[in-house]
Amino acid sequence: MEDNHQCCSTDRSTERPDKIKANLISRLNRVEGQVRGIRGMVEKDVYCDDILNQIAAVQSALNAVGKMLLEGHMKSCVMDRIQQGDHEVIDELLKTMNKLMK
């Protein structure tokens, strides 16, 4: 992953390079389509195991998006804040990682 994110912790936004943003949006669009597909499967009374396998695929896809965002966050936002002397970002990161690992 590229390491050229710009993070501004004061207004809590992150500018992402167009290529990375497009990749994330593409992945999220696929996840959105998969979730709609699961809803359709439930509406059509599809076999439970088939639906559960699709749910697992969606969870895996979301985890991949989360990993990409986490990597960028650590390489940009977290590093920037540590270099600025803001070590509270470590606690924030640990809380976020705990949520991701549930």
* Mean of pLDDT values over 82-94: 95
Per-residue model confidence (pLDDT) at position 80:
93
Residue 4 has pLDDT above 80, yes or no: no
Per-residue model confidence (pLDDT) at position 40:
98
Taking CA 61 as the corner, what is the angle to CA 56 and CA 64, rounded to the nearest 5 degrees?
125
Residue pLDDT, tens place only, 7-42? 544 567 888 888 999 999 999 999 999 999 999 999
Cβ 19 vs Cβ 2: under 8 Å? yes
What residue spans define the domains of the chain? 16-99
Of the pLDDT bands very low, low, confident and very high (cuts 50, 70, 90), residue 102 is: confident
Q: Select 16-99's CATH number: 3.30.70.260, 3.30.56.10, 3.30.460.80, 1.20.58.1000.
A: 1.20.58.1000
